[in-house]
Amino acid sequence: MSARPVPPPAEAIAQDVARALAEDVGSGDVTAALLPDIADIAYLLCKEDAVVAGQPWFDACHRALDPDVEIDWRVRDGDRVAAGTVLATLSGRARALVTAERSALNFMQTLSGTATTTAGYVDIVRDTGCTILDTRKTLPGLRLAQKYAVRCGGGQNHRIGLFDAVMLKENHIHAAGSLPAAIRAARAAQPSLPLIVEVETLEQLDEALAAGCERILIDDFDAGARREAVKRARAAPFNGRIPLEVSGGVDLSTLRGIAEDGVDFVSIGGLTKHVRAIDLSMKLGPAP
């Protein structure tokens, strides 16, 4: 069984939650103030099939308003659940429970949506040796959260941002004068960082293979060119040492064929960009 995904640092989660509560609660929850401030219980219900993600943010929302709240999770992030599953039960102060509800649900619904979408893509490429990657096309302010959700869905993360890998694309190559010149400049400036090179032709692929890098992204290659790229990357003297990534022109109907062509990675912006929230609800009272 694969290891559970590790969430971002607690400080990053706390910052996400602080922003969410600040925009929702503002100067105070005037409706919750009408409730008696007594102990109460609640439960979190998933109303559709889903992959769960977002528990650290859900917990942090509630604990920010009631440090003594007790949350009993019946599932873990990364679990697949059926519609009608009670995910957790809560015990705490009634006012705090209802005030934290919306922000906590927003995190859980969004991140579970990302994880569920990712799992759908991962299922399609299962047993092909191809890995599903995310991109930087994330919701502003939620990059670490969404990339965690991708891991919950069985995918892996591309670079986190513009700081942790060098990625040469068309404009960088144009500015440098040639692809080999761009690679030389990248290696000289950032020798310790991974280097990813995007190529648009088989000729550029040959240049990238000869110059060397950590991964080559073959952008919008048709099926014939893609298979030829795999053949060249696996032939001597390269012998598959530099993995190939596909990006662009990928959807659920084309993904399996792309994976079966032998590429190592497929990166999909839609994992984090086209988010459909999972239908969850939190209700006061005992769980059914």
Instruction: Tell me what pLDDT residue 268 has.
Output: 96
Instruction: Tell me what pLDDT residue 4 has.
Output: 87
134 is catalytic: no
214 is catalytic: no
Out of 63, 74, 136, 169, pick the active-site residue. Answer: 169
147 is catalytic: no
User: How big is the chain by its Cα radius of gyration, in Å?
Assistant: 23
CA gap 182, 172 in Å, rounded: 7
Q: Which residue has the tokens 């697949």?
A: 80
CATH 3.20.20.70 correct for 128-273: yes
Q: Is the dihedral of CA 107, 108, 111, 117 positive or negative?
A: negative
pTM: 0.95
One-letter amino acid of 244: L
Out of 59, 101, 134, 198, pick the active-site residue. Answer: 198
How, if at all, do strands 85-93 and 39-46 pair?
Answer: antiparallel
Classify burial at 267, counting beta carbons within 10 Å of its beta carbon; exposed 0-12, middle 13-18, buried 19 or more: buried
Cross-sheet strand order for the sheet of 131-133? 131-133, 265-267, 244-247, 215-219, 195-199, 166-168
Instruction: Tell me what pLDDT residue 2 has.
Output: 64
Out of 136, 137, 232, 234, pick the active-site residue. Answer: 137
Is there a contact between 216 and 244 (Cβ–Cβ < 8 Å)?
Answer: yes
- How many beta carbons lie within 10 A of that of residue 41, not counting itself? 16
Out of 48, 200, 214, 219, pick the active-site residue. Answer: 219
Of 120, 150, 151, the C-alpha closest to 137 is 150
* Residues pairing with 216 in the sheet: 197, 244
Out of 63, 74, 80, 102, pick the active-site residue. Answer: 102
Instruction: Tell me what pLDDT residue 249 has.
Output: 78
Instruction: List the domain boundaries for the chain.
Output: 10-122+275-284, 128-273
User: pLDDT in tens for each of the 288 residues of the chain?
Assistant: 568 899 999 999 999 999 999 999 999 999 999 999 999 999 999 999 999 999 999 999 999 999 999 999 999 999 999 999 999 999 999 999 999 999 999 999 999 999 999 999 999 999 999 999 999 999 999 999 999 999 999 999 999 999 999 999 999 999 999 999 999 999 999 999 999 999 999 999 999 999 999 999 998 899 999 999 999 999 999 999 999 999 987 989 999 999 999 999 999 999 999 999 999 999 999 999
273 is catalytic: no
* Residues pairing with 43 in the sheet: 89, 283
- CATH superfamily placement of domain 10-122+275-284: Quinolinate phosphoribosyl transferase, N-terminal domain (3.90.1170.20)
Of 194, 195, 162, the C-alpha closest to 180 is 195
